[in-house]
């Protein structure tokens, strides 16, 4: 091949891949720009702090924000201890080459690939129909308290969905703690748990936090798992108990986009809600990225 041809192909190849790259980034910018442009002007303090009125054509989205926060809070309480314990087991406790480790890894990876809607089915079939009804039978004499869609079940469903995120981030954080720190702890007579509790976990806090933030961001955005497990169209009151239903930002977007009584009147509210949801998930993602970068840098310096 002549030099000229090689140059041309090089140019073409780089150009095409670069074009692909530019297209994707442009698409992202286009979507975000469109939503920000249409969403930002309806935003106000009142919008964020009042409830919807007049069939969602007026008022704000406070109950949806509250519900989302409540949901991810419950989810975090469930998923973080579980995820951290799992990661600690995989990294520290499990004997090398153990079958359990292999199986847990496989389960985590596959859990990450199960479609969100299947988690929704599971939440209905297991948490509500099985666990909820059992609780009602045992403690409430069969009266209906927990055997119905509720924020608790939605949060637990979401916790299972986000478990892989927390495990993977924590494992990464544990992996980079230098071997010497562990050995030093043992040399001072620490038991394994003491070593984990006082040496490893403090050093892995950043990684655990990153995983938690990513999980929260995912949990705040997923709608399919909560369709049948607890989200409601409209509630005049905020959820205060674990067995209450709740309003949620993502579900609110879905409902307003498809079931609003007056499309034109709802549009500004809809865009503003999407904007709030996006801002929330992006702030979370962004802080996770910054946090992770900082931890990696610190580790690189420490070595």
Partner 1 sequence: MRPMRSITAGLLALAVPLNAAATITIKGSDTLVILNQKWAEAYRAKNPGVSIQVTGGGSGTGIAALINGSTDICAASRPMSRKEKLSLRDRFNTLGVEIPVARDGLAVYLNDSNPVKELTLRQVEQIYRGKIANWKDVGGEDAKIILYSRENNSGTYVYFKDNVLQGRDFSPMAQSLPGTAAVVNAVVKDKRGIGYGGAAYAKGIKFCPIKKTDGDAAYEPTLEHVKSGKYPISRDLYFYVRSKPSGDIKSFIGWVTGPEGQELVGQVGYFPIR
Partner 2 sequence: MSRRAAESAIEAVIRVSASLAIVGLVLIFVFIGKEALPVLLSQEVRQEAGLSRLFLPQSPEPSEPKEFAWQPISAIPKYSLLPLLTGTIKATVVALLFALPLALGAAVFSSEFAPSWLREIIKPSIELLAGIPSVVLGFFALMVMATYIQDLLGLDYRLNAINAGIALGLAVIPIVFTVAEDALTAVPQSYREGSIALGATPWQTAWRVVLPAAFPGIFAACVLGFGRAIGETMIVLMASGNAAVLSLSPTDPLRTLSATIAAELGEVVHGSPHYHVLFFIGTLLFLFTFATNLLGQAFVERLKQRLSGSRL
- List the interface residues with partner 2, window 30-89 (CB under 8 A): 31-32, 34-35, 81-82, 85-86, 88-89
Q: Rounded to 10 degrees, what is the CA torsion of 125, 127, 130, 132?
A: -140
Taking CA 220 as the corner, what is the angle to CA 147 and CA 131, rounded to the nearest 5 degrees?
Answer: 20
CA distance linking residue 265 with residue 262, whole number of Å? 6
Query: Counting contacts by CB under 8 A, is residue 25 touching partner 1?
Result: no
CA-based max dimension of the chain: 86
Q: Which stretch binds partner 2 (CB under 8 A): 43-51, 53-61, 93-101, 171-179?
A: 93-101
Q: Which of 203, 162, 165 is nearest to 182 (CA)?
A: 203
Strand partners, 275: none
Helix or strand holding residue 58 (H, E):
strand 58-59
Contact 150, 239 (CB under 8 A): no
Query: Counting contacts by CB under 8 A, is residue 20 touching partner 2?
Result: yes
Q: Minimum distance between the CB of residue 49 and partner 2, rounded to whole angstroms?
A: 22
Handedness of CA 247, 249, 254, 256 (dihedral sign): positive
The contact pattern for partner 1, residues 196-235, with x = CB under 8 A and - = no contact, is: ------------------------------------xxxx
Query: Counting contacts by CB under 8 A, is residue 301 touching partner 1?
Result: no
The site that binds partner 1 (CB under 8 A) totals a number of residues, namely 33
Query: Counting contacts by CB under 8 A, is residue 109 touching partner 2?
Result: yes
Of 12, 22, 27, 54, the residue at the interface with partner 1 (CB under 8 A) is: 54
Q: Minimum distance between the CB of residue 295 and partner 1, rounded to whole angstroms?
A: 24
Residue 48 binding partner per list partner 2, partner 1, none, with a CB distance cut-off of 5 to 8 Å that depends on partner kind: none
Query: Counting contacts by CB under 8 A, is residue 240 touching partner 1?
Result: yes
- Closest CB to partner 2 among 48 and 118? 118
Residues 245-284 that bind partner 2 (CB under 8 A): 250-251, 253-254, 257-258, 270, 274, 277-278, 281-282
Q: Which stretch binds partner 2 (CB under 8 A): 53-61, 180-188, 213-221, 237-245?
A: 213-221
Query: Counting contacts by CB under 8 A, is residue 149 touching partner 1?
Result: yes
CA distance linking residue 135 with residue 149, whole number of Å? 14
- Closest CB to partner 2 among 46 and 106? 106
Residue showing tokens 């490893």 = 200
CA distance linking residue 160 with residue 112, whole number of Å? 9
DSSP 50: S
């Amino acid at each position: 091949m002549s030099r000229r041809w090689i140059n041309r192909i090089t140019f073409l190849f780089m150009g095409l891949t670069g074009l692909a790259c530019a297209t994707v980034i442009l698409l992202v910018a286009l979507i975000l720009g469109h939503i920000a442009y249409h969403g930002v002007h309806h935003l106000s303090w009142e919008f964020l702090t009042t409830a919807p009125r007049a069939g969602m054509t007026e008022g704000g989205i406070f109950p949806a924000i509250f519900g989302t926060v409540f949901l991810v809070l419950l989810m975090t309480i469930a998923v973080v201890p579980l995820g951290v314990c799992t990661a600690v087991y995989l990294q520290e406790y499990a004997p090398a080459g153990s079958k359990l480790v292999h199986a847990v890894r496989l389960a985590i990876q596959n859990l990450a690939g199960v479609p969100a809607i299947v988690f929704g089915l599971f939440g209905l079939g297991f948490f509500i129909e099985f666990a909820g009804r059992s609780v009602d039978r045992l403690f409430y004499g069969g009266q209906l308290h927990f055997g119905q869609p509720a924020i608790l079940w939605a949060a637990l469903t979401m916790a299972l969905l986000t478990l892989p995120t927390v495990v993977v981030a924590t494992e990464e954080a544990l992996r980079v703690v230098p071997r010497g720190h562990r050995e030093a702890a043992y040399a001072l007579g620490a038991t394994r748990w003491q070593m984990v509790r006082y040496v490893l976990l403090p050093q892995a806090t950043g990684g655990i936090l990153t995983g938690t933030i990513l999980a929260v961001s995912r949990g705040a955005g997923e709608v399919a798992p909560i369709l049948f497990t607890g989200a409601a169209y409209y509630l005049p009151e905020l959820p205060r108990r674990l067995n209450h239903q709740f309003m949620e930002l993502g579900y609110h977007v879905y409902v307003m986009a498809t079931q609003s009584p007056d499309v034109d009147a709802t549009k500004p509210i809809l865009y503003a809600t999407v904007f709030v949801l996006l801002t929330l998930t992006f702030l979370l993602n962004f802080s996770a990225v910054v946090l992770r970068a900082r931890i990696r840098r610190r580790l690189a310096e420490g070595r």
